[in-house]
Amino acid sequence: MLRHRLEATGAVLVEGPKWCGKTTTCLQLAQSVLYMAQPDIREQNIMLTDMQPSLLLQGATPRLIDEWQIAPKLWDAVRFEVDQRDEFNQFLLTGSSVPPSFTDITHTGTGRIARLRMRPMSL
């Protein structure tokens, strides 16, 4: 399902609870990765998101942005970049929680960012 959605849109948001396999699944398709929560560069990533988010979006595609919600402004940056590139298969976004504030998000992502809900396995 993830591969099909990525082939039909510029980006896919993979949502779900912690430890359900979002990042692991996306890593199977990703050609480059940005770990927003990586402790030694977390604050730097947040500052870059405020100053020049396009730098964080550079890399081989599809580019995985893990825990994007740490810097909600990335949402609009991804949406803008998808429009500019006008290509499918550009970004994978993962996040286990909602963004802390929707004030930094100006666009829904409709037509550019598809959603995929992952759930933990159970018996």
Beta bridge partners of 116: 14
Q: Quick check: 88 pLDDT over 60?
A: yes
34 or 112, greater pLDDT: 34
Cβ-contact 106, 3 below 8 angstroms: no
Residues in contact with 80: Cβ distance below 8 Å, sequence separation at least 6, in sequence order: none
The neighbouring-strand residues paired with 65 are 34, 93
What are the domain boundaries of the chain?
Answer: 2-117
| Beta strands, E only, the chain | 11-15, 32-35, 63-66, 91-95, 113-117
123: pLDDT strictly greater than 60: no
Please name the residues in contact with 72: beta carbons below 8 A apart, sequence gap of 6 or more: 99, 100, 101, 102, 104, 105
> Model confidence over 47-66: pLDDT tens digits?
999 999 999 999 999 999 99
Is the pTM for the entire model greater than 0.75? yes
CATH superfamily of 2-117: P-loop containing nucleotide triphosphate hydrolases (3.40.50.300)
